Structures are given as structure tokens and as C-alpha cells.
């Protein structure tokens, strides 16, 4: 007997997963990236590094068939990560 909770997502045409699977992932990524950007870096999440979070967002963009609002949320995360990296680089350079 098979239930919907045991079914694996089926990629749409072009090999991308459906947008319906993305919102919870975007919610999680938004929380984690905001922690990193705010400097709540004492957490394990920052120990993973900016590059890790950037890769997670880029993977989401590459593997899912996002609707416009989801794509924009992901793009904003990438912008925030870029700004955070720039600020960190300036701080490091001034030391």
C-alpha cells in the first residue's frame, strides 16, 4: 500500500522538481541566511560558511521549476549573501 507521504517527487519536463516543494526550503534558507547576515555567527550555521548557503540556494534554483515569487526570494537570498561577504571582506581587510 502506497501513500502520498512515501512518494518521491517526480521531476517535471526538463528534469526540474515542482515549485510546490520549494516554499518550506526557502523558509529555512531565509532563516539561516538572515542569521549569517545579522552576525549571529556564534551558531553552527555560520560555521558552514557563506559559500555553503550560496550553494544551497543555487542548487534550489537549478533543480526546481520555480514560480516568479519563489525565484525572487532565492535571488534576494543570493544578494544578501553577496552583501554579507562584501562586508566581511572589508572588515577583514581593515584588520
Question: Is residue 39 in a domain?
Answer: yes
The pLDDT value given to residue 50: 80
Q: How many Å is the maximal CA-CA distance in the chain?
A: 62
Total number of domains in the chain: 1
Q: Domain range for residue 53?
A: 18-93
pLDDT tens digits for range 28-53: 999 988 888 887 655 555 557 788 99
Question: Is residue 5 in a domain?
Answer: no
Question: Is residue 13 in a domain?
Answer: no
Question: Is residue 85 in a domain?
Answer: yes
3-state secondary structure the chain: CCCHHHCCCCCCCCCCEEHHHCHHHHHHHHHHHHHHHHCCCCCHHHHCCHHHHHHHHHHHHHHEECCHHHHHHHHHHHHHHHHHHHHHHHHHHCC
Question: Is residue 55 in a domain?
Answer: yes
Question: Is residue 78 in a domain?
Answer: yes
Query: From CA 13, how far away is CA 53, in angstroms rounded?
Result: 27
pLDDT tens digits for range 58-83: 999 999 999 999 999 999 999 999 99
pTM score of the predicted model: 0.73
Question: Is residue 2 in a domain?
Answer: no
The pLDDT value given to residue 75: 97
The pLDDT value given to residue 2: 45
Question: Is residue 51 in a domain?
Answer: yes
The pLDDT value given to residue 88: 76
Amino acid at each position: 500500500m502506497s501513500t502520498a507521504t512515501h512518494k518521491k517527487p517526480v521531476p517535471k519536463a526538463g528534469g526540474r522538481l515542482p515549485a510546490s516543494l520549494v516554499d518550506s526550503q526557502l523558509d529555512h534558507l531565509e532563516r539561516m541566511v538572515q542569521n549569517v547576515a545579522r552576525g549571529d555567527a556564534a551558531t553552527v550555521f555560520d560555521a558552514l560558511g557563506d559559500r555553503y548557503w550560496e550553494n544551497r540556494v543555487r542548487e534550489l534554483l537549478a533543480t526546481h521549476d520555480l514560480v516568479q515569487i519563489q525565484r525572487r526570494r532565492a535571488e534576494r537570498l543570493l544578494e544578501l549573501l553577496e552583501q554579507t561577504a562584501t562586508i566581511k571582506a572589508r572588515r577583514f581587510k581593515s584588520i
